Structure 1
Amino acid sequence: MRRKNPADAVRQAGSGPTRPARRRLSAGLLAFVSLALVGGGSLMVAGPAQADVTDGLVLRYKLDETSGTVAHDSSGNGRDGTVNGTVDWKGASGLSFNGSNTYVKVPDNIMAGLNSITVDFDVWIDPAMGKPYFFYGFGNTSGSNGNGYLFATGNAFHASVSMTDYTAKQDIWPSNTSYQLARGMWKHVTYTQTGTTGILYENGVEKARKSNLTITPGAIGGGTTTADYIGRSLYANDQYFKGRMRDFRVYDRALPAAEVRAVANETEEEWAQVQALASHNQALDVFQDPTVGPVIIFPSDYTGDIDNLEAPPNWTDGYGNAPTSWPTPTTARSPQFTVGQISTIQDAVMTAVQPEDGSTNYRLNIYYDGMHDQVVAQTDAPSSITDPLATQYAGQLVVKSDAVASGKCAPHQTAMAESLGENAAPASGTNDVTTQLQWQQVQALADYNCALTAFDDPNIGPVVIFPSDYTGDINDLTKPPGWTDQYGQVPVSWPSPTTAKSPQFTLAQIKGIQTAAVDQIAGASNDTTNYSVDVHYDGANDRVVVQTDAPSSVTDPLLTTYPNRVVIKPASTPTASDG
């Protein structure tokens, strides 16, 4: 996804009911940050910073250590955990659990005296994870069985409490009891319980609720629990967890829905709000500085008060939620650019690289980079065109190569795949920003690596399917260079979809079936009939689907010619949302 031109991003400021205070970044600090990054590498974004909800913390393991066997408790309560088995720290990407012996032993009696509880953490489930397993289990064991416990698992996604073993457990299930937590991508899981009500959340969105629980956390074991684990079940025959976890928290209260959502989606929510502030207040750019956090850059001649930005009135996020508070980004003016000066450079570059007479066909992406206070032109135009521009605007314009990378699909491959593949997203859609972002990344991986399609498998999560004759390494997909989310941020981590090759199709073979289907159905049309036809590849079933309103007398020859490769389905009825 490419950034908008800064001139296009500027909006007229309107009146607003509130004026959040903002920290100000001095020109000197801006220059220091810019020079440091120019000399030392590109902008690095830290791991997702969770909301600062600390009231009632019993323990908090950030799991961002780089060595040792101690999971440090940052709550201030001194309840450090001990990592057993194979220890594989991933820094900001959490602790890696190998599925055979890695687990964290939490101090005994972690739920003693608790009538209410919240257990909250980030989790990445390895696609190879078997079942059954526990994300965590707090309780006791008797022989090889659990004997009173609280646990949650992702396959199928639910939480449970019991005073004895599985025969007496009380489950908190989604309405769809077969629902699986997607694998190969980060998820945020929260379980809250107060009184008789237990609620299970995925990425801050309620997925399950039970309102007649009879077991409180503190009642388990009479307050004595000696098998308090993260990454290990309380049943000896269950599997150890395989994947990663980070920022594991336990509270002595049930977080309300607003706080659960804030903790789960704070990073994405904040960036949506920062972007809205930048746009509403006529900013040039917004970026994440690794030291001071979000930064908004304004034109050098900006006359507004950058220390007192207006919040856009009536703004809501993509799910219709109005902020209860606004973030406080650092603000600064560009040392050298007005909007007009940037537009002048843009016009000059576009005139040279993409003249209106169409005499050249070079790619061009031009934008203002607030982090380095420069205009960047990404293009595959030759140096004979770009060198004079770089000389004319020395210190203001940087030209970067946009040559096609070796792993990138050729234009005809991309166009064919996009026309034949289905959208990469869960059939049920997405209702939280974290999941939505990761599915965008899955689609970007599929597109960049010349896949046929990507889809959601309810048991293992994202799956990317490649042509049968694909020669690349499907186990080591190339991440699209320069890809950013809708707020211009480079992802901290990427999903790891399951990958496979089609057992029977190359892209050319699918294209051949598409052509044959269109010819067959269009050829049967006449002055009184005009059959519709849509052809796409169904990766989940490895079939080419032909959707049409043509009768079977027209479509049967396709089934005969392409046995076990073509499926005929009725044409879908257009809706108002289809445009």
Structure 2
Amino acid sequence: MRRTNAAGTVLAALRVMAPLSRLPAAARAAFRRPGGPGAAVRRRTSAALVAVLSLLLAAGGALTTAVPAQAEITDGLLLRYKLNETSGTVAHDASGHGKDGTVNGTADWGDADGLGFNGSTTYIKVPNNIMAGLSAITVAFDVWIDPTMGKPYFLYGFGNTSGTSGNGYLFSTANQFRTGITLTDFHAEQQTRPSTSYALYRGMWKHVTYTQTGNTGVLYENGVEKARNTSVTITPGAIGGGTTTADYIGRSLYSSDLYFKGRMRDFRVYNRALSASEVQAVATGSEAQWEQLQALASYNGAIAAFDDPDVGPVVIFPSDYPGDIYDLQKPPDWTDEFGQTPTDWPDPTPGLSQQFTVDQINALQNAVTAQIQPGGDTTYQLNVHYDGMHDWVVAETDAPASVTDPLATQYAGKLEIKAYTLDNPPPAKCTPDQIAVGTVGTTAAAPASGFGDAATKLQWQQVQALADYNCALAAFDDPTIGPVIIFPSDYPGDIDDLRKPPGWTSEYGEIPADWPTPTTAKSQRFTLAQITDIQNEVIRQVSADGDTTAYSVAVHYDGMSDRIVVDTDAPASLTDPLTAAYPGQVVVNAATAPAPAATTDSSDTVGS
């Protein structure tokens, strides 16, 4: 489906494309050498990328990397396990200090998805004495907690053991989200924690950071401070007098505790406490910078922005762009949705399209739509967008060649037609008896406490997208196990094999690298048809013949309680028959109609 702005213009300028393909090696090399020879570019490089390259070489400017520059904070970096290996039992130290770790038990390498811990044998042995001499520390890492993880457990523990117990250590855990430090055992732990009931969500990636300096320990989630303790008196280097032989990731220092079950990646230890802005940059730099890149592209009239893994962010402008593409103006007084003002903006590589103005992109997209979906006919599905990386328009469709071949011929070199495949299935086509989310009045998936950062919001948007795409009844947050998706009792598909919506992007156009893994279940009470029948009966009972002037009524399915909730100001004489007819299935919440606004002058009128 095309996205349009208020004027009806396709928002090609605002679509952020993921790295669907990479620049040729020679082009990458030239990008890294400002002023390098243009001959390094081979003919296989697309026209758009040649333009980007030539523009860059003319400017002789430096490039940002694919990961935002501030996320590559190396000052004080003592150890860094990216955990992106594909085989072996070595967790390589990328800090340059040679502190490689040893993976014990099953090594479930997942490349960009980090190392999988099986909950029974997998852990990383970090070299001894990792905290020797440290008066301050930062421990930071990405973690995905398996929904079936039991308790208690450590995410990591650096210290010593005595018999079956810990004997001086620094650790973090997530079921009761906290970090503790002690010179002996748990009785003497000095803890930094939000509350005894706060836990990290399971089934989705989270970033955990703990910093300590002086008497202050601070615990962060996704770069947002969650707890602070200003009474910490133990320094990391004091543990064991600097000697620690039980330095583990994924394993507790108590033999009766569980091993960690889930995944981790990008595990870092610094010999200083990162500042709050540094913590946020490491934890959520990607999300924040994508939002900033989007704002730059939109404010300056670009038609595309995308990320190349080796070059970094690239912004493409229309061929007739009248401004200076090397002098991007930052949106004045811009803040993100959480009120944060950027301290650093991305520095994208600019380039001009060699084929399109904005009007030409819109004209081509309209022509594709008219051919594949004439008059709004949705027999064939279609997703059409401008791909700035290749400087062409892409049409993903299940239409046959007899429909698409004329387009391919007419717009050769400008239009790429992609057929849906098993790896790239078309958007879900829920039959009328399967359509659930959006028709049963469920509320959007979200944690009860709301969104505190961009990373959490993105993952909850993905939970909702999974529910929508897979024809679920509802998605909600369970405070114990995290995101849950509920399906009708007669759902015909495999609820444990959720399909990811192809081409889905966040509100900022970001294509996520990771998807949450919600817990899935079927309703114990309802098919979709039963829910809709009950909802219709509620409306009929409360507002006979569709008359909604007397009483207000709102009906929705509550996935957590597996019941239908009716909010209404109708009297009990109308609602009692509903609860009697559907015992255990319908809950009525009495709503009081607001009193009419008081007036002091009978001559008062609206707008006066």
Q: Could you state the TM-score of these two structures normalised by the residue count of structure 1?
A: 0.88
| Cα deviation digits, residues 494-541 of structure 1 (max 9, x gap) | 1111111111211111111111111111139989x7111111111111
Aligned in 2, Cα 1:30/1:231: closer, same or farther, shift over 3 Å? farther
What is aligned with 2:170?
A: 150
Deviation at 1:110, TM superposition (A): 1.2
Deviation at 1:143, TM superposition (A): 0.8
What is aligned with 1:248?
A: 267
Aligned in 2, Cα 1:420/1:466: closer, same or farther, shift over 3 Å? same
What is aligned with 2:132?
A: 112
Matches within 5 A, 1:118-137: 118-137=138-157
* CA distance in structure 2 between the partners assigned to 1:112 and 1:34 by the alignment: 53
Q: CA RMSD in A?
A: 3.0
Aligned in 2, Cα 1:3/1:232: closer, same or farther, shift over 3 Å? farther
AA aligned to 1:462 is: P
Note if 1:275 corresponds to 2:294: yes
Match of 2:435, SS? helix
| Partner of residue 537 from structure 2, selected from 485, 500, 516 | 516
AA aligned to 2:125 is: K
Bigger drift between 565-574 and 446-455 goes to 565-574
Matches within 5 A, 1:324-473: 324-352=343-371, 358=375, 360=377, 364-378=382-396, 386-400=404-418, 405=426, 408-410=429-431, 413-414=434-435, 417-473=438-494
Aligned in 2, Cα 1:10/1:467: closer, same or farther, shift over 3 Å? closer
AA aligned to 1:333 is: L
What is aligned with 2:520?
A: 499
8 Å CA contact 1:185–1:438 kept in 2: the answer is yes
Taking every aligned residue pair, what percent have the same amino acid on both sides?
64
* CA distance in structure 1 between the partners assigned to 2:248 and 2:346 by the alignment: 36
Count of aligned residue pairs for this structure pair: 552
8 Å CA contact 2:171–2:181 kept in 1: the answer is yes
Note if 1:538 corresponds to 2:568: no
* CA distance in structure 1 between the partners assigned to 2:294 and 2:364 by the alignment: 24
Match of 2:543, SS? helix
Bigger drift between 129-138 and 315-324 goes to 315-324
Bigger drift between 334-343 and 240-249 goes to 334-343
What is aligned with 1:41?
A: none
What is aligned with 2:578?
A: 558
Note if 1:209 corresponds to 2:228: yes
| Cα deviation digits, residues 398-425 of structure 1 (max 9, x gap) | 3445798495423664366444322111
8 Å CA contact 1:49–1:267 kept in 2: the answer is no
Deviation at 1:157, TM superposition (A): 0.8
* CA distance in structure 2 between the partners assigned to 1:294 and 1:142 by the alignment: 51
* CA distance in structure 1 between the partners assigned to 2:319 and 2:583 by the alignment: 67
What is aligned with 1:54?
A: 74
* CA distance in structure 1 between the partners assigned to 2:41 and 2:329 by the alignment: 24
* CA distance in structure 2 between the partners assigned to 1:48 and 1:464 by the alignment: 33
8 Å CA contact 1:2–1:488 kept in 2: the answer is no
Deviation at 1:252, TM superposition (A): 0.9
| Partner of residue 226 from structure 1, selected from 233, 242, 245 | 245
AA aligned to 1:530 is: A
Unaligned runs of 5+ in 2: 15-33, 50-64, 595-608
8 Å CA contact 2:66–2:308 kept in 1: the answer is no
Aligned in 2, Cα 1:2/1:48: closer, same or farther, shift over 3 Å? farther
* CA distance in structure 1 between the partners assigned to 2:472 and 2:150 by the alignment: 26
Bigger drift between 71-80 and 126-135 goes to 71-80
8 Å CA contact 1:46–1:492 kept in 2: the answer is no
Deviation at 1:271, TM superposition (A): 1.1
* CA distance in structure 2 between the partners assigned to 1:46 and 1:410 by the alignment: 41
8 Å CA contact 1:288–1:489 kept in 2: the answer is no
8 Å CA contact 2:115–2:264 kept in 1: the answer is yes
AA aligned to 2:97 is: N
Note if 1:571 corresponds to 2:606: no
* CA distance in structure 1 between the partners assigned to 2:576 and 2:279 by the alignment: 54
Q: Could you state the TM-score of these two structures normalised by the residue count of structure 2?
A: 0.84
* CA distance in structure 1 between the partners assigned to 2:117 and 2:547 by the alignment: 63
Deviation at 1:97, TM superposition (A): 0.4
* CA distance in structure 2 between the partners assigned to 1:450 and 1:338 by the alignment: 39
Unaligned runs of 5+ in 1: 12-22, 38-44, 575-579
8 Å CA contact 1:24–1:332 kept in 2: the answer is no
* CA distance in structure 1 between the partners assigned to 2:442 and 2:139 by the alignment: 39
* CA distance in structure 1 between the partners assigned to 2:320 and 2:270 by the alignment: 49
